[in-house]
Amino acid sequence: MSESVEKVGRGRPKLLNREYVLDVVIQNYRQKGIEGFSINELCKTAKVSKPALYREFGNEDGLMSEALVVYEQRVLAKIFGISQRETSFSQELDNLVLDVISQTDTQQDPKGCLFSNMLDSRRVLGELTLAQINRTHQNIISALEAWIVKSKANGELTTEMSSAFVAKYIHTQIRYAKCQLFRGESSQQVTAILKLALSVFKE
């Protein structure tokens, strides 16, 4: 990974490697939770100063909201394209379970979900981050709902429940499973619970 900061001249502010800082933020927020990783720890880990950090992102709220945007683009992209794939509804449901459970606990791919962690820490978040949480949540629900509508139309899913309700139900179960993994529950137990919760849509 490239150096996090670089001098541009004597007496002038340092340039901040934006992508690297966001990588550090996302990784640590996922591993430790929003309230478990402070700005001071971020500055130490990423080797940046607070003034440089605030010049780049405005404040902690700006940093968090941008981290969520990047996380959405990198990690949640699989969900956004779910209605475009040709996979059967049943197989895609299994894939959602596998995607949750197959996460490892390494620095590159920690078990925690940034979006879920932020939802659980809403009381300490700023306006920008809260607004981005709402946008991300709506994007997820819209993607799942489009997939449900498509699956109903091609006869793969038969239920009288509304597509919006099914989308919210599925997302709630996935989010709960991710939270359980983050809290240290065994993957076997989380898998069993998630499969059972989603089995209502299996024929």
DSSP classification of residue 14: P
Which pLDDT score is estimated for 38? 92
Q: Alpha-carbon distance 19 to 97, whole Å?
A: 30
The residue behind tokens 């990047």 is 70
* Whether the model pTM is above 0.85: no
104 alpha-carbon distance from chain centroid: 15
Which pLDDT score is estimated for 107? 43
Both tokens of 84, joined, read 């475009």
Instruction: List, in sequence order, every residue forming a beta bridge with 5; answer none if it has no partner.
Output: 16
Q: Alpha-carbon distance 81 to 59, whole Å?
A: 32
- Domain residue extents for the chain: 5-201
Question: Is the domain 5-201 a CATH 3.40.250.10 member?
Answer: no
pLDDT, one tens digit for every residue, the chain (203 residues): 333 333 433 444 457 899 999 999 999 988 888 888 999 999 999 999 999 999 999 999 999 999 999 999 988 888 888 989 989 999 999 999 988 877 544 444 555 688 888 888 888 899 999 999 999 999 999 999 999 999 999 999 999 999 999 999 999 999 999 888 888 888 889 999 999 999 999 86
Q: Is 84 exposed, middle or buried (0-12, 13-18, 19+ CB in 10 A)?
A: exposed
Q: For 16, phi and psi rounded to 5 degrees?
A: -105, 130
Q: Alpha-carbon distance 81 to 181, whole Å?
A: 24
Q: Alpha-carbon distance 134 to 149, whole Å?
A: 22
Q: Alpha-carbon distance 203 to 197, whole Å?
A: 14
Q: Alpha-carbon distance 16 to 12, whole Å?
A: 12
Which pLDDT score is estimated for 69? 95
85 three-class SS = coil
**CA-based angle 174:179:183, to the nearest 5?**
150
Q: Alpha-carbon distance 37 to 171, whole Å?
A: 26
Measured CA distances, 97 to 60, 101, 170 (Å): 33, 6, 10
Which pLDDT score is estimated for 14? 52
Please check whether residue 84 is in contact with residue 144, taking contact to mean a CB–CB distance below 8 angstroms: no
